[in-house]
Amino acid sequence: MQTVEISANGDAVQVGEAIFPLIWLRHNCPSAFHPQTQERVLDLLDLPDVPELTHAAAAGGALELTWADGHGSRFQLDWLLAHAPGQRGLDPAAVPPVTWRADLGAAGVPRHQADAILESDDALLAWLRETKAYGLSIVDGMPQSAEAGVLIGRRISFLRETNFGTTFEVVSKPDPNNLAYTSEALPLHTDLPNQELPPGYQFLQCLANDAEGGGSIFADGFAAAEDLAVEAPEDYDVLARTPVPFRFHDREVDLRARRPILRLDHDGQLAEVTHSPHITDIFDMPADEMAAFYKVFRRWLVRLNDPAYKLTLRLAAGEMVVFDNRRVLHGRARFDPGTGFRHLHGFYVDRQDLDSRIRVMVRGGGEGREG
């Protein structure tokens, strides 16, 4: 049984070690939520700054509170302790990254079967967790139709539409608006950093790869950044705090965004790595920072070129590669379209939607407000 005490100055309840401010308890009273939608319906301004409590006690695994205005609140103790202030609520989608380098090898890339993903929620969940941990996986056994990849994508969520369409065909085209649609080599890059929110997961389903050349290259941007943080922490800081402009424009659109090469989240953890030589726009840092930034940036480019990070593999028809486009860099060797056909069918699903699918599967389809 947890001890329950009202704090000496009367503005919090202490349950065991955890301290719950009274305003928080009243704001999160189960009655503050709509019984069906579980959305908060309480207007915070209907409460006083410090609601007055007349009684607090633990009974039957719950905390029971009586307020001065006559309202009563009942909290399950395990729910309360899971939400104790100062700690993050449990998130089933918080899969820690497993960083990798060239020595992972093509054989080490997580591999999952298309039919299992389509038929079994357990297989879907296992695939999503591993894809999130490594930022990279291959789905094998894909039927030879462009819809097959999309069916797998829709097992997760809806697709992310961009100016290149809901799906896009990576083939050598007569009037390309993008280097991907030529037979040129593509150096390592992340797609669409010129967008306000670059797409999360990228899917490239291989329908044909019969031309000479056209091998795929991947590198884990989180691994390179992890090494940079240890070997050159000042460079890491510069890349994390200097916004860089990116721009894509063609006949239809002119999309621009600024973002640091390494984007940290609110906890200072690395959240996103951006790398796109082709659509990096004109640098616009102040003149007195420009030369120093170039030096740091060039050292970063040298690091990304290090074979220690590069994983090469050759996609075969029937395989679909899936990677976190805001972490894992991808590229390809040039190919000779005269020697055979090469066709990848591509689309994106955002990170938030993959996370949502993991959470919904973990809660087993049950209803109710969660962590």
Residues 6+ apart with CB under 8 A from 143: 114, 318
State the residues that interact with ligand OGA by CB under 6 A.
Answer: 170, 180, 186, 191, 216, 330, 332, 344, 346
Pairing of strands 212-213, 335-336: antiparallel
| Secondary structure (3-state) at 160 | coil
Q: Which does 346 bind (CB under 5 to 8 A by kind): Zn ion, ligand OGA, none?
A: ligand OGA
Q: How far is the CB of 346 from ligand OGA (least distance, A)?
A: 5
The C-alpha R_g of the chain, in whole angstroms, comes to 25
Q: How far is the CB of 217 from ligand OGA (least distance, A)?
A: 9
Q: Which does 344 bind (CB under 5 to 8 A by kind): ligand OGA, Zn ion, none?
A: ligand OGA
Report yes or no: 318 and 139 within 8 Å, Cβ to Cβ: no
Residues 6+ apart with CB under 8 A from 244: 258, 259, 260, 261, 274, 280, 281, 283
Q: Which does 170 bind (CB under 5 to 8 A by kind): ligand OGA, Zn ion, none?
A: ligand OGA
Q: Closest CB to Zn ion among 191 and 220?
A: 191
Say whether residue 324 binds Zn ion (CB under 5 A): no
Please give the single-letter amino acid code of residue 161. Answer: E
- CA geometry: angle 225, 305, 234, nearest 5 deg: 35
Kindly write out the interface string for residues 281-320 of this chain, putting x where it contacts Zn ion by CB under 5 A and - elsewhere: ----------------------------------------
Q: How far is the CB of 330 from ligand OGA (least distance, A)?
A: 5
Q: Closest CB to ligand OGA among 165 and 371?
A: 165
Q: How far is the CB of 121 from ligand OGA (least distance, A)?
A: 30
Using CB under 5 A as the binding rule, the residues of this chain from 172 to 211 that contact Zn ion are 191
Residue 75: which of 88, 62, 87, 59 has the closest Cα? 62
For Zn ion, the binding residues (CB under 5 A) are: 191
